[in-house]
Structure 1
Amino acid sequence: MQSWIDLFINQFKATTWLEWAAVILGVAEVLLAKANKVWLYPTGIAATLISIYLLLNFGLYAECLLNGYYVVMSFYGWYYWIKKKNEPPVKVTYASRQEWIITLLIVFAGWGILYFILVKFTPSTVPVWDAWVSSTAWAGMWLLARRKIENWVLLNVSNLFAIPLLYHKNLAMFAVLTLILFIVAIFGYYDWRRIIRKEAINAK
């Protein structure tokens, strides 16, 4: 425990302005997602582009691919969330059976594909772990883009494994950010559940 505290203190002192920017924008993104605000997407895109640059330097290659996926899905989600002419905004709902099948395919197929890529084409020292964190986050981001409440569950599975991985890679500030995101995601789930229940009552 003391070594982790010392690591955090040293990392805090050595944190660059780019790392601070990524952390602040990352927190802002998840708070906006919790509040069900579309501005989470431009904020998240900025945080993600910075994170790609930083994570690449620490050898977390699947995390870099994950963040590239975040950028693509953020633009997709931004478009999907925006109210179109003569159409109501996308509502928060539970995932359907078909969407769960797609989610599980993203998780397990993505895990296998990423593991293969990391082992064959990168010097990654944590291919299984890195691939799992990324594949579960991929699935969560897809559900978020479609405004499905289960996105918080998948993102927190990813966060739970990402925290020790980031500490292992001496990215203490990113680990702390992920811990904050984990906590906020719990509240986000319950906030979105209240939205669903309120809409169900209003629809009666």
Structure 2
Amino acid sequence: MHSLLNLFIEQIRETTWVQWLAVVLGVAEVLLARVNNIWLYPAGILGTALSILLLMEAQLYAESLLNVYYIVMSVYGWIYWIKKRDQPSVKVTWSTKTEWIISLSISLGGWAVLYFLLRYFTPSNVPLWDAFVSSTAWAGMWLLARRKIENWIFLNISNLFAVPLLFYKKLPMFAALTIFLFIVACFGYFDWKRKAVKKDMRFET
């Protein structure tokens, strides 16, 4: 335990200002999203762009690609917010059997495809791990876009495996941010579950 603490302190000392800024912007994005503030998008886009540079340097290519998708979706979300902000949001629901099949296909199929690409076309030394973290996150984001409760499960599986990977790649602040996101996702799951139960109770009465 003492050696792990020393390793963490050593990695913190070696953390660059770019990584600190990316993490601060990531935290800001989450907090702004919680209060439904449109500034979450510019904070998220800038933080994610910095993250891509750092992840590429660490040879985490699948996570870099994942973050490119985050930027695309953030730009889309920003535009959609401006145009549709006064319209009601999509209701939170449980995934159907078909949606579960699609989600698992994205996770497992994406894992296999990304592993193949990373293994044979990049110098990555963690292709299996990097591919799994990204493929489960892809599935979680697909469910999130559809407002399905299970998105938090897939995202937290990704977060759980991402933490040791980021420490291994000497990105301690990103690992700390991922732990923070893991906790937020736990609260998100129970919050969405409560909303779905309330909706079901209204239909029953």
Measured against the shorter chain, the TM-score band is 0.7 to 0.9
Q: Which residue of 1 aligns with 2:181?
A: 181
Q: Which residue of 2 aligns with 1:123?
A: 123
Distance 1:150 1:79 in 2: 26
Deviation at 1:32, TM superposition (A): 4.9
Q: Find out whether 1:112 has 2:112 as its counterpart.
A: yes
Q: TM-score, normalised by structure 1?
A: 0.86
Q: Find out whether 1:67 has 2:67 as its counterpart.
A: yes
For residues 49-198 of structure 1, the aligned pairs below 5 Å read 49-77=49-77, 84=84, 88-198=88-198
The one-letter amino acid of 1:197's match is V
Q: Find out whether 1:8 has 2:8 as its counterpart.
A: yes
Report the secondary structure of 2:58's partner residue: coil
Deviates more, 1:44-53 or 1:8-17: 8-17
Seen in structure 2, the aligned counterparts of structure 1 residues 147 and 32 have a Cα distance that, compared at 3 Å, is farther
Gaps in structure 1 of 5+ consecutive residues? none
Q: Deviations over 1:124-175 (max 9, x none)?
A: 1111111001100111111112222111110100011111111111111211
The one-letter amino acid of 1:106's match is I
Gaps in structure 2 of 5+ consecutive residues? none
Distance 2:138 2:127 in 1: 16
Report the secondary structure of 1:149's partner residue: coil
Q: TM-score, normalised by structure 2?
A: 0.86
Q: How many residues align?
A: 203
The one-letter amino acid of 2:136's match is T
Contact 2:15 2:172 in 1 (8 A): no
Report the identity percentage: 62
Q: Which residue of 1 aligns with 2:36?
A: 37
Deviation at 1:201, TM superposition (A): 4.2
Distance 1:92 1:191 in 2: 10
* Larger relative contact order (CA 8 Å, sep ≥ 6): 1
Seen in structure 2, the aligned counterparts of structure 1 residues 93 and 32 have a Cα distance that, compared at 3 Å, is farther
RMSD between superposed Cα atoms in Å: 2.5
